[in-house]
Amino acid sequence: MSGFVISPGALRQSGRALRRKAAGGHTWLDWLGQALRAVTTRRYLAEMDDHMLKDIGLTRMDAAQEANRAPWDFGPRSM
């Protein structure tokens, strides 16, 4: 036995910490979800063929630049 015990009170405190709002009004779990969505959608964008990119008004270079952005970079692209 390791002697490591988690009390019900500690679990409640951990749950509150997960839901604690950051300065922007979002939890860190919201941020993580947004980063994972960015990674997924950028991967789909990178896999699109030229015809699909043309349909959404992007060039292959635009798609590559977007796909290569950092997962935490959510803002508009800088030109």
Average pLDDT over residues 22-30: 71
Q: What is the pLDDT of residue 15?
A: 56
Q: What is the pLDDT of residue 29?
A: 87
Cβ 53 vs Cβ 63: under 8 Å: yes
Residue 51 lies in domain: 22-79
Summarised one tens digit per residue, pLDDT across range 49-73 is: 999 999 999 999 999 999 999 988 8
Six-digit token string for 69: 């952005």
Has residue 46 been placed in a domain?
Answer: yes
Has residue 37 been placed in a domain?
Answer: yes
Q: What is the pLDDT of residue 79?
A: 55
Q: What is the pLDDT of residue 12?
A: 61
Has residue 7 been placed in a domain?
Answer: no
Q: Is pLDDT at 11 greater than 70 in this prediction?
A: no
Q: What is the pLDDT of residue 48?
A: 96
Our count of domains for the chain comes to 1
Six-digit token string for 13: 């405190």
Has residue 8 been placed in a domain?
Answer: no
How is 12-41 classified by DSSP, letter by letter?
Answer: HHHHHHHH---TTS--HHHHHHHHHHHHHH
Q: Please give the C-alpha separations between residue 60 and each of 15, 39, 72, in angstroms, as whole numbers.
A: 44, 18, 22
Has residue 51 been placed in a domain?
Answer: yes
